[in-house]
């Protein structure tokens, strides 16, 4: 009893010292303490429109100048707004909660599982083993094999990177790829989605072997009254700031017929003022909506949780190559949040997109 009391006194004394040492109003800011020795990890967050939602007249060929600018930055890793195969495997075990999420965000690995005989965990393990001993000059057969494993692992964008790194005459069945998977890969190359029109081609162009899915939907959940929830959020979104954003989008989308017009859209979506405008029109408005069920606060909690988990996935991906450059390609509304969260990391330096997106 005496020994326990002494221990409590020591702990109390230490806690008292810590409290006394902290001056009123003092706040620990992790971002103020950055790596001092050696090159820091550099992070470039490109806020993008979702290409599938652009007008049908949009031609992905007009991404050419943007692609040149991004390639010139020479990223060593690229992270994308997609769910990993392992997270989707987890979500499939909880269909009561995540059924809609699975249908909306999870790629079906069944055709690849049939071709390779591997489920997502087994294929993921084989991907890791293969990349751990990946040669400087892999054969076409090795690339086809790795593409088949990425598909079975639920990582179609990374499979597309391997497909694009093959010479055209080597893009055929074999080494784990059957005719159905070859057809899938050729369709993915043409998909109107930034993962396949920007991230995968850029990774192949920069000599990378994969991209990193960093999205997270584990905070998704069912709402008891979906109709009332929808009405409350839509009412919050009906505000002057959102109206101005929609007018801006219409003007930007009407000018996407040239590479310069596409670059102008990316400049607007990545402008310093864009994050605050997004907050006031969307999340800030929802936060204050007056429903007794606090629908808006639940929506904001989901949004913040999702971004925090995305940020942690990006931080993990950056740890594989200390002192290198990571490009994140993500829906523009996420950009400000991810930059703010990741700027708190000791070994991350956020790079502005201004120079890359400058006018021609």
Sign of CA dihedral 342, 344, 346, 348: positive
Give me the residue label for tokens 């839509």. Answer: 234
pLDDT at 239: 97
Rounded Cα distance between 174 and 145, Å, is 8
Q: Using 50, 70 and 90 to split pLDDT, how confident is the model at 9?
A: very low
Rounded Cα distance between 315 and 319, Å, is 6
pLDDT at 21: 52
Q: Mean per-residue pLDDT for 8-31?
A: 60
- What is the tens place of the pLDDT at every residue in 205-256? 999 999 999 999 999 998 889 999 999 999 999 999 999 999 999 999 999 9
Phi, psi of 42 (to 5 degrees): -105, 135
Neighbouring-strand partners of residue 47: 330
Q: Mean per-residue pLDDT for 20-40?
A: 82
pLDDT at 284: 97
pLDDT at 1: 43
Are 163 and 147 in contact, with CB atoms under 8 Å apart?
yes
pLDDT at 360: 74
Q: Mean per-residue pLDDT for 271-289?
A: 97
**CB neighbours (10 Å) of residue 269?**
22
Tokens, residue 179: 């005719």
Calculate the alpha carbon distances from 258 to 6, 215, 298, 299 in Å.
75, 30, 41, 37
Q: What is the mean pLDDT of the chain?
A: 93
**Residue 258 clears pLDDT 70, i.e. is over it:** yes
Q: Where are the alpha helices (DSSP H) in the chain?
A: 2-21, 64-73, 85-91, 95-105, 110-116, 120-132, 140-152, 156-165, 179-190, 194, 200-205, 226-237, 240-253, 259-269, 274-278, 284-287, 295-318, 332-342
- What is the tens place of the pLDDT at every residue in 116-175? 999 999 999 999 999 999 999 999 999 999 999 999 999 999 999 999 999 999 999 999
DSSP per-residue letters across 102-114? HHHH----HHHHH
SS3 of residue 224 by DSSP: coil
Strands of the sheet with 77-80, listed across from one edge:
212-213, 77-80, 325-331, 41-48, 348-351
pLDDT at 38: 85
- What is the tens place of the pLDDT at every residue in 307-350? 999 999 999 999 999 999 999 999 999 999 999 999 999 999 99
**Residue 7 clears pLDDT 60, i.e. is over it:** no
- What is the tens place of the pLDDT at every residue in 68-118? 999 999 999 999 999 999 999 999 999 999 999 999 999 999 999 999 999
Rg (CA), the chain: 23
Rounded Cα distance between 334 and 328, Å, is 11
- What is the tens place of the pLDDT at every residue in 170-218? 999 999 999 999 999 999 999 999 999 999 999 999 999 999 999 999 9
SS3 of residue 41 by DSSP: strand
Phi, psi of 294 (to 5 degrees): 55, 45
Instruction: Please give the distance of CA 84 from its chain centroid, rounded to a whole number.
Output: 10
> In 3D, which of 260, 281, 259 has the Cα closest to residue 332?
281
Tokens, residue 312: 């942690």
Please state, for a pLDDT cut of 70, what percent of the chain lies above it. 93
Rounded Cα distance between 253 and 54, Å, is 7
């Amino acid at each position: 009893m005496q020994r326990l009391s002494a221990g409590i006194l020591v702990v109390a004394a230490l806690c008292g010292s810590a409290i006394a040492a902290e001056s009123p109003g003092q706040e620990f800011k992790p971002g103020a303490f950055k790596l001092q020795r050696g090159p820091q990890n550099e992070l470039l967050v490109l806020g993008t429109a979702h290409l599938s939602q652009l007008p049908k007249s949009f031609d992905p060929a007009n991404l050419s100048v943007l692609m040149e600018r991004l390639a010139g930055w020479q990223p060593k890793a690229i992270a994308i707004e997609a769910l990993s195969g392992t997270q989707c495997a987890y979500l499939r075990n909880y269909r009561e909660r995540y059924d809609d999420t699975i249908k909306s965000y999870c790629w079906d690995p069944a055709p690849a599982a049939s071709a390779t005989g591997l489920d997502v965990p087994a294929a993921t393990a084989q991907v890791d083993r293969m990349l751990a001993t990946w040669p400087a000059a892999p054969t076409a057969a090795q690339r086809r094999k790795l593409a088949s494993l990425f598909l079975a692992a639920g990582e179609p964008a990374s499979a597309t990177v391997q497909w694009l790194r093959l010479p055209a005459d080597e893009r055929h069945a074999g080494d784990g790829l059957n005719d159905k998977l070859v057809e899938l890969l050729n369709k993915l190359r043409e998909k109107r989605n930034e993962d396949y029109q920007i991230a995968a081609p850029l990774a192949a162009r920069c000599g990378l072997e994969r991209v990193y899915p960093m999205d997270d939907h584990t905070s998704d959940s069912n709402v008891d009254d979906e109709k009332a929830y929808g009405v409350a959020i839509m009412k919050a979104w009906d505000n002057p700031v959102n109206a101005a954003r929609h007018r801006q989008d219409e003007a930007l989308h009407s000018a996407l017929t040239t590479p310069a017009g596409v670059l102008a859209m990316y400049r607007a979506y990545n402008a310093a003022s864009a994050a605050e405008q997004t907050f006031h029109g969307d999340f800030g408005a929802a936060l204050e909506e007056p429903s007794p069920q606090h629908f808006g606060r639940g929506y904001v909690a989901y949004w913040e949780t999702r971004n925090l988990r995305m940020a942690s996935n990006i931080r993990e991906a950056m740890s594989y190559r200390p002192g290198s450059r990571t490009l994140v390609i993500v829906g523009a509304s996420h950009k400000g949040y991810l930059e703010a969260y990741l700027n708190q990391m000791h070994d991350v330096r956020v790079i502005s997109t201004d120079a890359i997106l400058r006018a021609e």
